[in-house]
């Protein structure tokens, strides 16, 4: 049943969502009212933001202090050649406005730090992490736990990707990132994409998966990835699911 507060244009734009029993007009109205913060407008953030805007997420925040480089365009499909040198957050806002002008996009042209993390995260309902280093991932994990914000996080390298959802404040069945990685791996064990390379389309695969999990969390439908780590091997063409448990001594969520 279509929610009464949707316009005729919205009903037409989101018609394929509305006919889904799990979404409907009421669910689409929830998406329109939702506020999602995306960390990074790069490889993961680009496809993630595209699908969230197309889905009608009413307010999107984009945190990125980097500028568009020619080497980004192999996978960061939200940016154009003419955007080289522009701020990624601003470039993302332009692209998302083209996809769906009804979406409000806040371009946060800053790096996530201990000083601003709480302020940035507090203004949103849910956070999606597309960052590329463990220091930022830990900071976002800890901030989302403290503020009780669901966190959908993914990572990619070479031909491999992984994704999970973290809601550790909800109890013993819900671990956080530090439960899986209590100590950050060395640079030798986990080099950067610039050092080791990454398949461009892999970013699209994991970014699209993130968008799906974000929508599921907003709507409260399906099975959450909280407590599970989903990995993807592009060369093998296979997915693997790993059960993850809360670590009793976890400095972030061990007492939750």
- pLDDT tens, per residue, the chain with 256 residues: 345 589 999 999 999 999 999 999 999 999 999 999 999 999 999 999 999 999 999 999 999 999 999 999 999 999 999 999 999 999 999 999 999 999 999 999 999 999 999 999 999 999 999 998 999 999 999 999 999 999 999 999 999 999 999 999 999 999 999 999 998 887 777 787 888 899 999 999 999 999 999 999 999 999 999 999 999 999 999 999 999 999 999 999 988 8
Give residue 255's pLDDT.
84
Phi and psi at residue 163, to the nearest 5°: -150, 145
Dihedral sign, CA of 155, 253, 136, 65? Answer: positive
Identify the bridge partners of residue 165 per DSSP, sorted by sequence position: 152, 226
Residues in Cβ contact with 215 at an 8 Å cutoff, skipping those fewer than 6 apart: 31, 52, 55
Q: What angle do CA 39, 27, 143 make, to 5 degrees?
A: 30
Active site residue 179: no
Q: How many CB atoms lie within 10 A of CB 225?
A: 23
- Write out the H or E segment, with its range, that includes residue 35: strand 35-39
User: Rounded to whole angstroms, how far apart are CA atoms 227 and 161?
Assistant: 17
* CB 153 within 8 Å of CB 163: yes
Structure tokens at 168: 């550790």
User: Rounded to whole angstroms, how far apart are CA atoms 27 and 218?
Assistant: 9
pTM over 0.85: yes
User: Where does the chain have alpha helices with state H?
Assistant: 8-13, 15-18, 24-33, 45-55, 88-99, 117-122, 134-147, 177-180, 193-196, 200-219
Residue owning tokens 């946060």: 108
Catalytic annotation, pick one of 144, 176, 179, 193: 193
Nearest Cα neighbor of 125 from 227, 218, 215, 223 is 218
User: Rounded to whole angstroms, how far apart are CA atoms 87 and 231?
Assistant: 31
- For residue range 93-124, list pLDDT tens digits in order: 999 999 999 999 999 999 999 999 999 999 99
Question: Superfamily assignment of 9-243 in CATH?
Answer: NAD(P)-binding Rossmann-like Domain (3.40.50.720)
* CB 250 within 8 Å of CB 145: no
Using DSSP, state whether 87 is helix, strand or coil. Answer: strand
Give residue 229's pLDDT.
98
């Amino acid at each position: 049943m279509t929610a009464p507060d949707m316009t005729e244009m919205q009903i037409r734009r989101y018609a394929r969502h509305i006919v889904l029993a799990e979404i409907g007009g009421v669910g689409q109205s929830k998406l329109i009212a939702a506020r999602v913060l995306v960390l990074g407008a790069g490889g993961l953030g680009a496809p993630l933001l595209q699908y969230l805007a197309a889905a009608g997420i009413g307010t999107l925040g984009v945190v990125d202090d980097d500028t568009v480089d020619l080497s980004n365009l192999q996978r960061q499909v939200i940016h154009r050649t003419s955007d080289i040198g522009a701020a990624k957050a601003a470039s993302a806002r332009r692209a998302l406005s083209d996809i769906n002008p009804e979406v409000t996009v806040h371009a946060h042209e800053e790096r996530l730090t201990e000083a601003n993390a709480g302020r940035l995260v507090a203004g949103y309902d849910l956070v999606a992490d597309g960052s590329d280093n463990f220091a930022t991932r830990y900071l976002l994990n800890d901030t989302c736990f403290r503020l009780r914000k669901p966190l959908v996080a993914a990572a990619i390298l070479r031909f491999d990707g992984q994704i999970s959802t973290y809601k550790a404040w909800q109890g013993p069945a819900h671990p956080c990132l530090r439960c899986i990685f209590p100590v950050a791996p060395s640079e030798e064990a986990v080099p950067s994409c610039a050092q080791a390379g990454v398949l461009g389309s892999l970013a699209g695969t994991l970014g699209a998966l993130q968008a799906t999990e974000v929508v599921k969390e907003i709507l409260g439908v399906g099975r959450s990835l909280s407590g599970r780590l989903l990995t993807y091997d592009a060369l093998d063409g296979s997915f693997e699911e790993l059960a993850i448990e809360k670590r009793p001594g976890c400095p972030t969520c061990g007492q939750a």
